[in-house]
Amino acid sequence: MNTVTQAKEKDIREDIAWAQINRDVLASLAQPRGTYWAIFAMAFGMFLVGVGCEAYQYEKGLGVSAMNNPDVWGLYIATFIFWIGMSHSGTLLSAILHIIHADWRKPIYRFAEAMTTFSLMTAGLFVAVHLGRVWQIYYALPYPNERWAWPNFQSPLLWDAMAIFTYLSSSILFLYVGAIPDFAICRDNATGWRKTFYEKLSLGWMGTDRQWRNFRVAYLVIACFLIPLAVSVHSIVASDFAMSQQPGWHITSFPPYFVAGALYSGCAAIITLFIMLRYTFRFEEYMTMPILDKTARLTFAIAMVWTYLNLIEYSSVWYGSDQVAKETLIQRATGPYAFYWWSMNFLGSVVPFTLIFKKLRANLTAMMIVSLLLNLGMWLERWMIVTPTFSHGYYPWTWDHTFFPSWVQWGIVFGSFGWFGMLFMLFCKLVPSVSMYEVKEMVFHRKLAKVHVREA
């Protein structure tokens, strides 16, 4: 007879009552207290700093950002790519892990998917901030006009526009459709304006078998579409660089490198938000330590993939005959950006090795710090792709210029984190951040599995 020993901690307790799941998650949607408003005010303050800097830049012109010829792209493009990258986490958890039936994703994918949507919205801000004439941004859309002028479909920036629009709208639809059963639960337990709100959102979901059948297929189909979409979106963003011929950019491995960096960045952000939500809403039953452990191990695996692609890029440049690319690489390592470049390599490749140690994975404070450092490394990576190529490109006349962003650029980057924070906090109080029906499914199936084990 097999007695199941209690050596390992479980991803979730099988005997949680479903009514309990409802209660715990709905408690997180209750009227917020003082701390919430204080943090929201902080995020709003950060956002206002960004708005102020952008207002100044809009008024005076982009010159205040200290960009110049040839350094025409600065932190705006770097942070844009950073936010798009962070958005891949949701797709990874929602779609990829769904298709391989990894059910430990069920308690955490909702907020990850929300993170995807809000990251994309934040990235969209940077497109506007970066343009010289924002008020004519609609020129990039294919709309009928009497000049017969359509956008230039050959431009990778335009592919970006189409891909990100597709990704953002698909993400919002995926998040919304996946949350319909949860909105039904909220509707059944709400009063006042919230009841009307959830009534509208849940579209009259009643959990009939016809609805569930179609829901299951729709969810799977959209997940199957979303995976190649996510890969293609970040590959297209990578094409902004790979399709040019500048040294340090014209590298074939950029699309998979960017996708790996995106998954990396997203996983680290999931860990950060996981720890914050678990603490704030007391989700210890659902966002359990074994799930954090699995997420940390996944992050480590992706970190190694990213490290490999990074090192491959350096080795192929070092080993090849492209003289200019080699000089650009040397300049990255020894020039004015050396400190940031080496930090990026350290934070991105060495720090993830802390995730090997089980004791560290179980320590929440350590994981919080590690995840923030990993994301800092990823942000530095984006910056180190954009700026050093300008400081040492093909043309000798452009060398010997050192370009560092002005306070305007830093202010806007700072403000974007405030914007993201605001959106996420609004989400936490309006949408259940743990997917109740999926957790019920997880508990149900694990209970069934346990029964079968006992019977065996």
Partner 1 sequence: MSLEQTINDWTKIRQRHPLPGSHPDLKWAMAIDLDACTGCNACVVACYAENNLPVVGKEKFAAGQAMHWIRIERYWNEGDEVTPHQGAQFLPMLCQQCEAAPCETVCPVGATNHTPDGLNSQVYNRCIGSRYCSANCPYKVRYFNWYSYPDQEKAWPEPLPMQLNPDLTVRTKGVMEKCTFCVQRLMDARNTARNEGRGVRDGEVLTACAQACPTSAITFGNLSDPHSMVAQKWRLQRVELDKDRQLKDIDGSHPGLRGYRIFEDLRPYPSIMYLERVRDNQA
Partner 2 sequence: MTTKRLLGLFNDFDQASAALRELRDANLPYLDWNDVTIKSPIEHPDVEDVLGVRSIPIRNYTLVGALLGGSLGFLGLATSQGNFFSQLKGGKPIIPLPPDFVLTYEMLILGGVYITVLGFLICAGLPHRVKSDLYDVKVSEDQVGVMVKANAHCITEVRKIFESHKVLSIQEEVVR
User: How big is the chain, counted in residues?
Assistant: 456
Sorted by sequence, the CB contacts under 8 Å of residue 113 that are 6+ apart come out as 90, 91, 93, 94, 171, 174, 175, 178
d(CA 352, CA 215): 38
Q: Is 226 in the site for partner 2 (CB under 8 A)?
A: yes
Q: Is 437 in the site for partner 2 (CB under 8 A)?
A: yes
What part of residues 339-378 is at the interface with partner 2 (CB under 8 A)?
none
Q: Pick the closer one to partner 2 by CB: 207 or 320.
A: 207
Q: Which two tokens stand for residue 51?
A: 């708005």
Q: Which two tokens stand for residue 392?
A: 């040492």
Q: Pick the closer one to partner 1 by CB: 155 or 253.
A: 155
Q: How far is the CB of 437 from partner 2 (least distance, A)?
A: 5
d(CA 412, CA 230): 26
Using the structure block, give the residue that is written with the tokens 């692609």: 309
> What secondary structure letter does DSSP report for 114?
H
d(CA 56, CA 19): 53
d(CA 397, CA 453): 73
Sorted by sequence, the CB contacts under 8 Å of residue 140 that are 6+ apart come out as 151, 157, 158, 161
Q: Which two tokens stand for residue 279?
A: 């603490």
Q: Is 246 in the site for partner 2 (CB under 8 A)?
A: no
CB 27 within 8 A of CB 409: no
Q: Is 395 in the site for partner 1 (CB under 8 A)?
A: yes
Q: Is 161 in the site for partner 1 (CB under 8 A)?
A: yes
Sorted by sequence, the CB contacts under 8 Å of residue 146 that are 6+ apart come out as none
Q: Which stretch binds partner 1 (CB under 8 A): 155-163, 196-204, 308-316, 420-428?
A: 155-163
Contact with partner 2 (CB under 8 A) among 64, 66, 180, 304: 180
Q: How far is the CB of 136 from partner 1 (least distance, A)?
A: 5
| Residue 320 touches which member of partner 2, partner 1, none, C-beta under 5-8 Å by kind | none
Q: Which stretch binds partner 1 (CB under 8 A): 59-67, 113-121, 268-276, 360-368?
A: 59-67
Q: Is 36 in the site for partner 2 (CB under 8 A)?
A: no
d(CA 5, CA 165): 50
Q: Pick the closer one to partner 1 by CB: 27 or 137.
A: 137
Binding positions for partner 2, rule: CB under 8 A: 17-19, 22, 142, 148-150, 152-155, 159, 162-163, 165-166, 169-170, 173-174, 177, 180-181, 184-185, 188-189, 199, 203-218, 221-222, 225-226, 228-229, 232, 236, 239, 437, 440-441, 444
Binding positions for partner 1, rule: CB under 8 A: 60-63, 66-73, 130-134, 136-137, 139-140, 149-152, 154-158, 161, 240, 243-246, 390, 393-398, 401, 403
